[in-house]
Amino acid sequence: MSETKINIGPIHPSTHGVLRLVVTVDGDTIKEVEPHIGFLHRGVEKLAESRMYMQNIVYMEKLDYAAPMAHQELYVSTVEKLLGIEVKERAEYVRVVLLELQRIASHLLWLGTMCNDIGQMFSMFMWTMRDRDMILRLLQEATGQRMFYVNMRLGGVNRDLPAGFEDDTYKVLDSIEHSLGEYKDFLESNPVFMERLKNVGVLSRENAIRLGVTGPVLRGSGIDYDVRRNSSYYKYTKLGFRPAVETGGDSFARYKVRMKEMQESISLVRKALEEMPKGDALGLPIKLIGAVPKEKEAIVKRELPRGEGMMYMVADKQRPYRLAIRAPAFINLAALDHISRGQRLADLFAILGSLDLVMADVDK
């Protein structure tokens, strides 16, 4: 048969942002997928060079708008390493609570949008958005903002957790744990859902390493690698964190990894709240005349909801001389062409949904 080229996007409801795909199909079978990116490029790395260290948090949050807390923490940690500032003990626990809450919110958003993509299960989207909103309300209570928190400070956080936050969190977590169980039963007994995810978009163990994918995509292919445990930052090891690993390698395995991760995050938040020591968690105030960096360059990696994020910073006197960002979504997008070859065209968005991309993270 003859091959045809189909253009999808750049503005399409299922691409989660502005992504253009040129798909070569033979009949209904995908031969090649060519992603065209850069529609959201705004030059974050360049802009960061003209701002003081702590002014850049605003830009870093907008890298991944589904999980702003994770990116700002990554950036602030890089600056901390550069300036040689230690994080207070209570602040470490507070950060773990905020980061894991953000991870649950991000994964809930992914679940809703992916179910919407694979067969107009719009009620699922409504339910997960309801749950996500409860977490956003918690984060708003803790930081004062609904979406872009700008809450991390050098050595701690801007605000300590407010009074009554623990009880609210326990209530919300109980409710979310209950609904996650419901979603699991509901989805895994749904033949349409299983049909569209099982054995679709298989990424083998070897290819996952070769393509450099990280996060739930890598763990879905059976590789036990999680930065939270492997480089053991904050109190993750002490809190008994165990990464979720699945061996299937298909879209369903990625779904299962994320569902398990949400469960794991819930128990992490609970444990962190229980074991949290009393004391001071406040960081240094933002000063426009910053401290003098102790090291020339710093590199920090963190487990973001979408995978391993890395920031490399070369110091100048008051601001970064150079900032390089390893965006997990950008690397994971590279796997799209590989895993969708040979699949049906209709499965393309199930695969794209299971990779969980945020285009602002890809384009920087």
Partner 1 sequence: MIFMEENIAENEKVMNARKEMDKLVADSLKRYKLKPNALFVKLSDVTKHIAKKPVDWARTNSVWPMQFGLACCAMELMDFGSSRIDAERNGYLLFRATPRQCDAMIVAGWVTKSVIPELKRLYEQMLEPRYVIAYGECATSGGPWWESYNIIKGIDQVLPVDVYVAGCPPRPESLFQALIKLQKKIGGVVAKD
Footprint of partner 1 on this chain (CB under 8 A)?
A: 10-13, 17-18, 38-43, 46-47, 50, 58-59, 62, 65-66, 109, 125-127, 129-130, 133, 146-148, 360
Q: What share of the chain is helix, strand, coil (3-state, %, to 5)?
A: 50, 15, 35
**Which CB, 65 or 170, lies closer to partner 1?**
65
Nearer of residues 56 and 221 to partner 1, judged by Cβ: 56
CA 21/CA 10 separation, integer angstroms? 7
Of 267, 253, 233, which is closest to residue 78 (Cα–Cα)?
233
Q: Which residue lies nearer to partner 1 by CB, 18 or 300? A: 18
Cβ contact 240:186 at 8 Å: no
User: Could you tell me the smallest distance in angstroms from the CB atom of residue 256 to partner 1?
Assistant: 24
**In the bound complex, what is the minimum distance in angstroms from residue 10's beta carbon to partner 1?**
6
CB of 57 to partner 1, least distance (A): 11
Shortest Cβ distance from residue 249 to partner 1 (Å)?
A: 30
Structure tokens at 28: 């209904």
CB of 130 to partner 1, least distance (A): 4
Work out how close the CB of 81 gets to partner 1 at its nearest, in angstroms, rounded to a whole number: 25
Per-residue three-class SS string for 181-225: HHHHHHHHCCHHHHHHHCCCCCCCHHHHHHHCCCCHHHHHCCCCC
Nearest-angstrom CA–CA distance, 322 and 347: 40
Phi first, then psi, for residue 8 (nearest 5°) are: -120, 125
CB of 149 to partner 1, least distance (A): 12
State which residue, 106 or 169, has the beta carbon closest to partner 1.
Answer: 106
Which residues lie closer than 8 Å to 163 by C-beta, 6 or more apart?
none
CA angle 271, 274, 277 (to 5 degrees): 115
Please tell me whether residue 135 adopts helix, strand or coil conformation. helix
Minimum distance from residue 342 beta carbon to partner 1 (Å) = 28
Contacts of 266 (CB under 8 A, 6+ apart): 100, 104, 173, 176, 177
Closest to partner 1 by CB, 132 vs 271, is 132
DSSP summary character for residue 238: T
In the complex with partner 1, the residue whose CB is nearer, 39 or 225, is 39
Report the alpha-carbon angle 174-275-68, nearest 5.
Answer: 65
From the CB of 126, what's the least distance to partner 1, in Å? 5
Side chain identity at 168, as an amino acid letter?
A: D
Q: Which is nearer to partner 1, 158 or 207 (CB)?
A: 158
Q: Helix (H, G, I), strand (E, B), or coil: what is residue 240? A: coil
| DSSP assignment of 24-54 | EEETTEEEEEEEE--TT---HHHHHTTS-GG
Q: What is the DSSP letter of 18?
A: B
d(CA 310, CA 328): 8
**For partner 1, the closer CB: 347 or 361:** 361
Q: Which is nearer to partner 1, 51 or 344 (CB)?
A: 51
Closest approach of partner 1 to the CB of residue 43, in Å: 5
Cβ-based nearer residue to partner 1, 116 or 221: 116
